[in-house]
Amino acid sequence: MANQLRGNDLRQLGFPEGRAIGLALAQLQRKHLKKLSQTDQLTLLKSLLTDPSTYLTHLDWSHTAAALLPAPSRHIALTERKPYAVFGPEYIEQGAIHQMETAMKLPVTVAGALMPDAHQGYGLPIGGVLATDNAVIPYAVGVDIGCRMALSVFALPPKHLEQRVQEMRKLLLDNTRFGNRQGFQRGQKLDHAVLERDEFNDIAFLRNKQGTAAEQIGTSGSGNHFVEWGIVDIIDPQNELGVLVGQYVGLLSHSGSRGLGASVANHYTKLAKDVCQLPAEAQHLAWLSLESEAGQEYWAAMNLAGDYASACHHQIHQRLAKALGERPLAKVENHHNFAWKEHLADGREVVVHRKGATPAGAGVLGIIPGSMTAPGFIVRGRGNADSLASASHGAGRAMSRTRAKQELGEAEVRRYLEQHGIELIGGGVDEAPQAYKDIHAVMQSQQELVDVLGSFTPRIVRMDGA
């Protein structure tokens, strides 16, 4: 094209040698920017070059802007490791320990803790809790922002579930959707106020995300996400649920913020890596200052994704309660893969990241699931300062997905489920119960973190898959 800019044009404008030129030229090939006249393109690039910091959160120019910032200010060395608490160390693999050790060397790190279900992830290990000083780390929150548990307890006896397996199975099939396939049809969709939030317009990056969010609302992800019927057993007569001691039918769901959360995580992680360049072993722990525009944008987008994840669960439980013809006696909901502004015991305000860890402040209720063949637990937090008021978010993986696929056969897993009386819809061998740690051992390791109010034992489970 006659009006196509070249590297020399950018050099004449004042662009330094390096990746900023290549990034800028690549961006100009995008359809909506290609339509601009050469004069308009040069005006845009001059504005970018004059003050790159104002473009750090721009949908088109964030990475080019980051590359234009002075290099010395973007290279950050690790510091001496700070101490941190480990719960159930005998159940935690070395890879997760190594990742936590690295996280505790960040200059912005204040405190940390590792939960007994911990295993290796990206950046902060799954089951890692990290407190930082006025900084948020997208990969210490996680890709599935606001992933959470939600439980509804119904005034139905366990025999209702045991005697109507096929009917309850059909309720799951008719009223849940999983993975990236088509969501609910137009006439089946439910509205929610979260889809009208200002952030979809105020944050440039989110302006084209509202459609996907509307399409996927009320659905569940793939992997270890599930919706399941089971038996709730309340054992604490002083429970805050207002439910008498005894057994009930329960509905438990586990899922997150779907494509919305994933896109936010990936965009701001790349941006954080551009503006906060760390040694190779710590690169996934790049942070954004909450005083920066990018940090404030991520914080707002993260909270939107968390509220969206909650809305998805509310719709799942709303649909199934209506199909069941029952109103729940009580509900419990908690999230992980999130960051909160909290205060340490000394009164200092920090940003607490819980990546696969359950909030367990004093009196805070939550759910810690086991596996398909092991119970989960309804818990009340004890506000333990050493754990940064956190607990495990489940049993935790004993096998990676790859290893589970290599070592476990589908027929073997199906037999195991049948032996335990579990009806499974979908799922794969990578989510087999044998791939998870012993939930009872995990709970034993965190007695000082939570009190148990009751349990949830799965019976009919739906996951992604045929």
- What are the residue numbers of the active site? 393
Overall size of the chain counted in residues: 466
Helix axes of 258-275 and 293-324: crossing angle, nearest 10 degrees:
160
Task: State the number of CA atoms in the 13 A half-sphere of 372 facing the CB.
Answer: 30
Is 227 annotated as belonging to a binding site?
A: yes
119 within 8 A of 126, measured Cβ to Cβ: yes
SS3 308: helix
CA distance linking residue 105 with residue 279, whole number of Å: 11
Q: Binding residue per annotation — 261?
A: no
Q: Tell me if 372 is assigned to a ligand binding site.
A: yes
CA distance 84 to 102: 12
Q: Sign (positive/negative) of CA torsion 192, 220, 298, 81?
A: positive
- d(CA 116, CA 392) in angstroms, rounded, equals 6
Q: For residues 10 and 89, give the distance between their C-alpha atoms in angstroms, rounded to a whole number.
A: 55
116 is in an annotated binding site: no
Residue 233 marked ligand-binding: no
396 marked as binding residue: yes
Per the annotation, does 314 bind a ligand? Answer: no
What is the C-alpha separation between 21 and 261, in angstroms, rounded? 30
Q: Bridge-partner residues for 130, per DSSP?
A: 112, 353
First to last CA, the chain: 49
Q: Known binder of ligand: residue 395? A: yes
* Cα gap 115→442, rounded to integer Å: 9
**Is 224 part of any known ligand binding site?**
yes
Ligand-binding site membership of 394 (annotated): yes
14 is annotated as contributing to ligand binding? no
Residue stretches of the annotated binding site: 144, 224-228, 254, 336-337, 369-372, 393-396
| Binding region for Mn(2+) | 144, 225, 254, 336
Binding positions for GMP: 224-228, 336-337, 369-372, 393-396
